[in-house]
Structure 1
């Protein structure tokens, strides 16, 4: 049986765009885009995790809100439960350390990116929720 981990992912919005980052060359799944975040530690909430991970990986000051989507994806060696958390940037600045690029991508272009497999259903859910809110 494959190992299982819970991972928190940040959904950071700016108008009609979402913040995404591309995994750096020394990372697993290098070159794939993702919603930044990381592994939830024992006893940690998804919200606390995503704030910690964004500070560690991007030196980003944030506040976490509600869980807005989840997706369990099975890779060959690992099952990942990805928990998407709404996040607000408190300062509009970040520093790349484990990622080699980051960008604000319009919602209608999000699925054009080469997203990590676990992130694709999250992107679809974020787009669907945004479309419902706009209707």
Structure 2
């Protein structure tokens, strides 16, 4: 089984994080995720994330640090390794270039969404470590 390395951005602004709903044109339509994408050959995860966020949402982000990765198998032949990074919004206005909808949610609201399976452990990790993450962003 091949492993596909994928990054995702936990874009935090004013005690909220950006969540994106997958469109009908994407796999897993209607499920929520942290935006990001596949790492291309020779690309670092951080560069991948900045490129993907620009392509998907039209904004620039600053990448701070990574959280614990998660591996999930959506099929017997496909394993995804999802690598989350805490980010801040640098510039630009959000444009829905791939997703159906975005929401800025507090840590208390995150579990109310119907998340893609690979993102669920990342949501749980983010909620459990929210205060520590916020402190690291300030320092």
Classify the TM-score, shorter chain.
over 0.9
How do residues 10-25 of structure 1 correspond to structure 2 at under 5 angstroms? 10-25=9-24
C-alpha distance in structure 2 between counterparts of 1:93 and 1:3, whole Å: 36
Question: TM-score normalized by structure 1?
Answer: 0.92
Contact 1:70 1:83 in 2 (8 A): yes
**Equivalent in the alignment of 1:74:** 73
Quote the Cα distance in structure 2 between the aligned partners of 1:127 and 1:45. Answer: 26
Kindly report structure 1 stretches of 4+ aligned residues shifted beyond 3 Å: 131-134
With structure 2 as the length reference, what TM-score do the two structures score?
Answer: 0.90
**Per-residue Cα deviation, 1:4-26 (whole angstroms, up to 9, x for no partner):** 10000001112321101001111
Alignment map for 1:113-124 (pairs within 5 Å)? 113-124=113-124
Q: Which residue of 2 aligns with 1:99?
A: 99
Partner of 2:3: 4
Report the more deviating stretch, 91-100 or 23-32: 91-100
**Structure 2 partner of 1:45:** 44
Q: Distance in 2 between matches of 1:100 and 1:56?
A: 14
Contact 2:13 2:88 in 1 (8 A): no
3-state SS, counterpart of residue 52 of structure 1: helix
Asked if the contact 2:73/2:80 (under 8 Å) is kept, the reply is yes
The 3-state SS of whatever aligns with 1:90 is strand
Contact map agreement 2:61 2:89 (CA 8 A) in 1:
yes
Q: Which SS does the other structure have where 2:115 is aligned?
A: coil
Q: 1:118 aligns to what SS in structure 2?
A: helix
Which segments of 5 or more consecutive residues in structure 1 lack a partner in the other structure?
none
1:3 offset after TM fit, Å?
A: 2.6
Spell out the pairing of 1:26-37 with structure 2 (5 A cutoff). 26-37=25-36
Count of residues in correspondence between the two structures? 134
